[in-house]
Chains A and B, each alone.
Chain A
Amino acid sequence: MEIKLKIWRQKDARSQGSFVDYNLSGVSGDMSFLEMLDFLNKTLIESGDEPVAFEHDCREGICGSCSLYINGRPHGPGDLVTTCELRMTRFKDGDTIVIEPWRAKSFPVIRDLIADRSAFDKIMEAGGFISVGTGSAPEANSIPVTKEDSDEAFDAATCIGCGACVAACKNSSAMLFVAAKVSHLTLLPQGHAESAKRAQSMVAKMDELGFGSCTNTGACEAECPKGISLAHIARLNREFLKAGFRG
C-alpha cells in the first residue's frame, strides 16, 4: 500500500522543528509500524536524505524506548500496545499518518521524534526504591505477602516508563507513572516502611521538574500500553495525605 506521512523533523534541541511530508509506497500490512519507519529511512538514505531519528530497542513492548505520538495518540491506534507492537494492518492504502514526538515541557525534543525522558529517572531518584543494601536481606520466604497484594503490586510494576501517560495528559502530568511506582512498593510489606515519605518526595520532585497537575481526566489510563489503572493514583493520594498528617 501507499501511505502519506507527516513527520516532525527537528535537527536538535536548540533548533525549530516542522512537519515534513513523505509519500511511501510498497508498505506491507505485515510490517510493524517501526519496520515501516525503517523502510522509510532506507529510502531516505539511499536518496541522499537524512533518516528520521526515533527511539526503539527491544521491539517487543517491554523496554519502553519507543515513544511516538501517532495521529494524535501516544503509541497510535489500538489499546494496550506500544508503537513497536503496532502493525501496519491498522492502516489502509492512501492513509495519512501524522507522527510526532512526545510533547511535554519536561520531555524536551532532542532530535526529530526523540524526546528526553530523563526526568523519569530523576523522579525515581527521589524515592522509587526500597532502601535495602546488598547482603542485608532476610530469607525470601520469611515475609509472606498475600497473593492479592502481590498481584496488585505486580500490575503496578508492569509500568515500562515509556511516558505515554504524560504525552496523553493535557497538563503533562506524570501522576500515573509516579502512582504506579508508589503503589508497587507500598503494597509490598518490604516497601511499606518508607511509603509515606516516598510518595511525598516523588510528588515533590515531579512538581519541581515541571510536570503538570492531575485533574482526573483518565487520558493516561486510556493510553497506557500496560493498562496501569487510575486506582493507583487514588492510593498515591492516600499515601501523600498520610505523609502530610505526619508532618
Chain B
Amino acid sequence: MSNLQSKIPEGPLADKWTSHKNSVKLVSPANKARLDVIVVGTGLSGASAISTLAELGYNVKAFCFQDSPRRAHSVAAQGGINAAKNYKNDGDSVYRLFNDIIKGGDYRAREANVYRAAEVSNQTIDQMVAAGVPFAREYSGYLDNRSFGGVQVSRTFYARGQTGQQCLLGAYSGMIRQIAKGRVTMYSRRDMLDLVVVDGKARGIVTRNLVTGEIERHSAHAVVLASGGYGTIYYLSTLAVGSNATASWAAHKRGALFSNPSFVQIHPTSLPQLNDYQAKLTLMSESLRNDGRIWVPKEKGDKRHPNEITEEERDYYLERRYPAFGNLVPRDVASRAAKERCDAGYGVGETGMSVYLDFSRSIGRFGEKTIEAKYGNLFEMYEKITGINPYNEPMRIYPAGHYTMGGLWVDYNLMTTIPGLFAIGESNFSDHGANRLGAGSLMQCAGDGYFILPVTIGDYLAGEIRTPRISTDIPEFEKAENEAVDKLRSLLAVRGKQTVTSFHKRLGKIMWDLCGMVRNEEGLKNAKKMIDELKEEFWNDVKIPGTLDELNQELEKAVKVADFFELGRLMCQDALERKESCGAHFREESQTPEGEAQRIDSDFSYVASWEYSGEGNDHVLHKEQLTFDNVKMQERSYK
C-alpha cells in the first residue's frame, strides 16, 4: 500500500477535470435505480451529495446524529464562500484561486485536486443562487463580493455573518425535496459506529439509534463519509460540541489511510476562554479583520482600559511584522503572532491571554452605520456574551482550534484506500494542504458534493451494476455489529468515578499545549505518553450512567472520546515525524531567524498517510510525494 495511487489524470492542469469527466464510466438510469449509496453526514458536502446523487437516480440512505439534517455544523460557517467569478474585475481567475489555495496551504496539497476545486467554484455559486441562497447584493441587484483573510482580490460571496447556515439550508432544501420524492431515506439521530467491509469493498455501516439505543445494519454498493472534522479533540474549539471523528476513525481502523492528521487550523479570532466550565469557544468571523486592527499595548502588563491607551502606546503587531498584508495575513500566521505576544507578556484581559481587535478607525472613517451593515450580527453576538459593546471599545480575541486540514486519504476520485468508500468535505485531506484559507471550506464542501463526487462515484458504481442488493445477514455485518456492541458494553462496564467530560478536558489540554499552535519534539513525545496514560485511566475509571438501550448522551460522548485518545496519539506521531514547519504545523526546531515557519521541501514534500496497525501500536507511514509543475514553490511571505 506504500505506493499510493492518486489517479491524477494526464494532461495539462486546466484540462484534467474535463478530460476525466469525458473518460469516466457512466451508469445508465435503469442501473442507477438498482444501486444503493450510503452518505454519512448532512452538512454542506453531505447534503449537496445526497440531493445530487438522488437526482441522478441512485437510492440514497442518509445519516446524521442531529435531530434534523439541517443542523449539521456547516451552519456555523460565518464569513463566506470563495469563487473565481471575477465579478470585481480585479484580476481574479481560476488559476489565481488555485494558486492562492496552494500557497495558503504552504505547498502541501495536491495540485490537480486544488485546481479542480477552484474550477467548480463558479458553478457552485450558480447552483446556490438558483436554490435560493440569499447572498449579499449591491443596490444594482447584482451579487456583492468582499475580500477575505489572506488574499488580495475580492472573491468571497457572503450572507451577512451566516453564510454557512444559508448555504446549508440551500443544500438541505434540495435534499428534502428528494426525501419527499422517496429517493432518499433519512436516518437522523444515528451515530455511525463501524464500517462494514466485504471482500475488500465498503458495503455498509453499523449505526446506533440514539433514541432507542438499537444497533442497526445498513448496506449499500458504496459508502460516502461526509462526517466533518475533528477539531473538538481540543475539547474547547469553535466546533459544535457534537462534532466528532468516530465515523472517519472507524473507517481508518478498517483500512482507510488517514493523512496529515496533525494539520489543524487554529483560528485567530475567537472569543477568549472565560471560565473552567466553558464548553466551547465562539468564533468571531475573520471578515472582521477587514475593518478591525489587532493590537496589544507596547508596555508589558499594561492593565489600563484600552481606550486610555494612546495610539503611540499601541503595538499593531501584524501591521508591524507583515506590512504587505497587515491584519489580513492568513489564519496560521495571525494565530501564532497572537500567541507570541501573549506568551511574551503583552496579552490583555484578566488572564493576559487575549489581544485587542479594534474598529475605532473604521468607524471613524466609514461611520457606525456602514460597520453595522457589515458586521452587525457579529457585534451583537460579542456583546451578548461579554457585555462589552464593540462600537465603543475593542473586542478581545484569542486563537481557538477550528478546522482540520487532515483527514482520510482520497485519490482524485475522492475514494479512500478502501474501494467503494469515499470521503468528501472536511472529512478528507485533499484540498487545503497545511493551512486552509478563509471561505475555502464551504467552497470545497459544495464542490465535492454537487459536482465532483457525483461524477467520480459513477465510475466506481459502473463496476457494480451486476452486484445484487447487499444483504445485512452476512458474517461481516454480524462481526461489525458484535464488535460495536462489545465496545459499548465495555465502556458501560467500567463504572468508575470520573465523568467522560473530565477526561475530554484533560485530553484537550494535552493536545492544545503540546500539539496545538506550536510543537516540539520533546513535547510531542511527552504528549504521546500522557495520552496513553490518560487512555488507560479512562478505560479504568470512566463513569457512564444509564444503559445501552435508551437515549444516553454520556455513552455517546464516551464513544467519541475513546476514539479521540487514539486519534490524538496519531496526531502527535504525525507532528513528530514532520520535522519541518509548514502552514499550521509549526515545529520550534524549524523556523527562520525572524521566527517564521521554515519549510523543508527536500525532505517533506509529501502527504503523510498513516495505516492503522493495531490497538496501542504506532501507525505505519506511507508517503505520497507531491509535485508542483504549475506553481513555483516559494517561501510563503506576507511581508
A residues apposed to B, CB below 8 Å: 11-12, 28, 30-32, 34-36, 38-39, 42, 45-46, 48-51, 53, 55-65, 80-81, 85, 87, 89, 110-111, 114, 116-118, 120-121, 124-126, 128-141, 143-147, 150, 153-154, 157-158, 160-161, 184-185, 188, 190-191
Contact (A190, B130) CB under 8 Å given A35-B279, A58-B240: yes
Docked pose: A31 CA to B368 CA in angstroms: 30
Q: Name the A residues within 8 Å of B180 (CB-CB).
A: 125-126
Contact (A141, B551) CB under 8 Å given A38-B279, A134-B55, A134-B454: no
Q: Which B residues between 269 and 285 are near A, CB-CB below 8 angstroms?
A: 274-275, 277-280, 282-283
Q: By the criterion CB–CB under 8 Å, are A139 and B76 in contact? A: no
Q: By the criterion CB–CB under 8 Å, are B51 and A134 in contact? A: yes
Q: By the criterion CB–CB under 8 Å, are A147 and B160 in contact? A: no
Contact (A132, B240) CB under 8 Å given A35-B277, A59-B280, A161-B70: no
Say which residue of B52, B70, B127, B142 sits within 8 Å of A141 (CB atoms): B142
Q: Name the A residues within 8 Å of B177 (CB-CB).
A: 125, 129, 131
* Shortest distance between the CB of A45 and any CB in chain B (Å): 5
Q: Name the A residues within 8 Å of B160 (CB-CB).
A: 154
Show 27 residue pairs from A and B whose CB-CB distance is below 8 angstroms, ordered by the A residue.
A11-B550, A35-B275, A35-B279, A46-B499, A50-B546, A51-B553, A59-B241, A60-B283, A80-B380, A81-B384, A85-B385, A111-B550, A129-B132, A129-B174, A134-B51, A134-B55, A134-B450, A135-B123, A137-B127, A137-B130, A138-B126, A140-B143, A150-B135, A153-B132, A157-B159, A190-B129, A191-B132
Docked pose: A153 CA to B136 CA in angstroms: 11
Q: By the criterion CB–CB under 8 Å, are A140 and B240 in contact? A: no
Q: Name the B residues within 8 Å of A81 (CB-CB).
A: 384
Say which residue of A34, A89, A111, A185 sits within 8 Å of B551 (CB atoms): A111
Contact (A125, B179) CB under 8 Å given A46-B543, A60-B76, A158-B162: yes
Q: Give per-residue flags for B107-129: 1 if the beta carbon is below 8 A from chain A beta carbons, else 0.
A: 00000000000000001011111
Docked pose: A40 CA to B269 CA in angstroms: 30
Listed from nearest, the 3 A-B pairs whose CB atoms lie closest are A144-B141, A137-B130, A129-B173
Q: Name the B residues within 8 Å of A137 (CB-CB).
A: 123, 126-127, 129-131
- Of the listed residues A57, A64, A117, A135, the one surrounded by the most CB atoms of chain B closer than 10 A to its CB is A57
Residue of A with least CB distance to B276: A28
- Of the listed residues A114, A154, A184, the one surrounded by the most CB atoms of chain B closer than 10 A to its CB is A154
Q: By the criterion CB–CB under 8 Å, are B137 and A150 in contact? A: yes
Contact (A55, B85) CB under 8 Å given A124-B173, A125-B176, A129-B177: no
Residue of B with least CB distance to A116: B67
Residue of B with least CB distance to A26: B277
Say which residue of B123, B211, B545 sits within 8 Å of A49 (CB atoms): B545
Contact (A117, B67) CB under 8 Å given A128-B176, A157-B134: yes
- Of the listed residues B136, B139, B179, B240, the one surrounded by the most CB atoms of chain A closer than 10 A to its CB is B240
Q: Name the B residues within 8 Å of A59 (CB-CB).
A: 240-241, 279-280, 282
Q: Give per-residue flags for B481-521: 1 if the beta carbon is below 8 A from chain A beta carbons, else 0.
A: 00000000000000001010110000000000000000000
* Shortest distance between the CB of B446 and any CB in chain A (Å): 10
Asked whether B66 is an interface residue with its Cβ less than 8 Å from the other chain, the reply is yes
Docked pose: A139 CA to B85 CA in angstroms: 10
* Shortest distance between the CB of B524 and any CB in chain A (Å): 30
Residue of B with least CB distance to A81: B384
* Shortest distance between the CB of B53 and any CB in chain A (Å): 9
* Shortest distance between the CB of B451 and any CB in chain A (Å): 7
Q: Name the B residues within 8 Å of A51 (CB-CB).
A: 545, 553-554
Q: By the criterion CB–CB under 8 Å, are B176 and A45 in contact? A: no
Q: By the criterion CB–CB under 8 Å, are B176 and A129 in contact? A: yes
Q: By the criterion CB–CB under 8 Å, are B75 and A134 in contact? A: no
Q: Name the B residues within 8 Å of A160 (CB-CB).
A: 75, 165
Q: By the criterion CB–CB under 8 Å, are B241 and A161 in contact? A: no
Residue of B with least CB distance to A159: B169
Asked whether B619 is an interface residue with its Cβ less than 8 Å from the other chain, the reply is no
Q: By the criterion CB–CB under 8 Å, are B132 and A58 in contact? A: no
Q: By the criterion CB–CB under 8 Å, are A65 and B67 in contact? A: yes
Q: Name the B residues within 8 Å of A146 (CB-CB).
A: 137, 141
Docked pose: A64 CA to B499 CA in angstroms: 26
Count class of interface residues, chain B: 35 or more
Asked whether B308 is an interface residue with its Cβ less than 8 Å from the other chain, the reply is no
Q: Which B residues between 45 and 73 are near A, CB-CB below 8 angstroms?
A: 48, 51-52, 55, 66-71, 73
Docked pose: A55 CA to B551 CA in angstroms: 12
Docked pose: A59 CA to B232 CA in angstroms: 13
Q: Which B residues between 516 and 571 are near A, CB-CB below 8 angstroms?
A: 543, 545-546, 550-551, 553-554
- Of the listed residues A32, A55, A80, A191, the one surrounded by the most CB atoms of chain B closer than 10 A to its CB is A32
Asked whether B595 is an interface residue with its Cβ less than 8 Å from the other chain, the reply is no
Q: By the criterion CB–CB under 8 Å, are B134 and A150 in contact? A: yes
Q: Give per-residue flags for B136-151: 1 if the beta carbon is below 8 A from chain A beta carbons, else 0.
A: 1111111100000000
* Shortest distance between the CB of A190 and any CB in chain B (Å): 6
* Shortest distance between the CB of A173 and any CB in chain B (Å): 19
* Shortest distance between the CB of A168 and any CB in chain B (Å): 19
Asked whether B462 is an interface residue with its Cβ less than 8 Å from the other chain, the reply is no
Docked pose: A42 CA to B557 CA in angstroms: 13
Contact (A128, B173) CB under 8 Å given A38-B279, A57-B73, A144-B141: yes
Q: By the criterion CB–CB under 8 Å, are A53 and B130 in contact? A: no
Asked whether B227 is an interface residue with its Cβ less than 8 Å from the other chain, the reply is no
Contact (A87, B385) CB under 8 Å given A64-B71, A141-B142, A147-B137: yes
Q: By the criterion CB–CB under 8 Å, are A42 and B501 in contact? A: yes
Docked pose: A135 CA to B53 CA in angstroms: 12
Say which residue of B131, B241, B280 sits within 8 Å of A132 (CB atoms): B131
- Of the listed residues B67, B142, B545, the one surrounded by the most CB atoms of chain A closer than 10 A to its CB is B67
* Shortest distance between the CB of A11 and any CB in chain B (Å): 8
Say which residue of A36, A46, A50, A114 sits within 8 Å of B497 (CB atoms): A46
Q: By the criterion CB–CB under 8 Å, are B384 and A188 in contact? A: no
* Shortest distance between the CB of A16 and any CB in chain B (Å): 16
Contact (A60, B139) CB under 8 Å given A134-B51, A190-B130: no
Docked pose: A162 CA to B380 CA in angstroms: 20
Q: Name the B residues within 8 Å of A63 (CB-CB).
A: 66, 71, 73, 75-76, 240
Docked pose: A210 CA to B176 CA in angstroms: 20
* Shortest distance between the CB of A113 and any CB in chain B (Å): 11
Docked pose: A133 CA to B454 CA in angstroms: 13
Q: By the criterion CB–CB under 8 Å, are A58 and B73 in contact? A: yes
11 more A-B contacts (CB under 8 A) besides A144-B141, A157-B134?
A: A30-B275, A35-B279, A111-B550, A114-B551, A121-B70, A121-B188, A140-B125, A140-B129, A147-B139, A157-B166, A190-B132
Q: Which B residues between 231 and 258 are near A, CB-CB below 8 angstroms?
A: 240-242
Q: By the criterion CB–CB under 8 Å, are B126 and A30 in contact? A: no
Contact (A121, B69) CB under 8 Å given A62-B165, A147-B139: yes
Asked whether B387 is an interface residue with its Cβ less than 8 Å from the other chain, the reply is yes
Q: By the criterion CB–CB under 8 Å, are A12 and B162 in contact? A: no
Q: By the criterion CB–CB under 8 Å, are B545 and A145 in contact? A: no
* Shortest distance between the CB of B47 and any CB in chain A (Å): 11
* Shortest distance between the CB of B282 and any CB in chain A (Å): 5
Asked whether B621 is an interface residue with its Cβ less than 8 Å from the other chain, the reply is no
- Of the listed residues A42, A129, A146, the one surrounded by the most CB atoms of chain B closer than 10 A to its CB is A129
Q: Give per-residue flags for B164-201: 1 if the beta carbon is below 8 A from chain A beta carbons, else 0.
A: 01100100111011011000001010000000000000
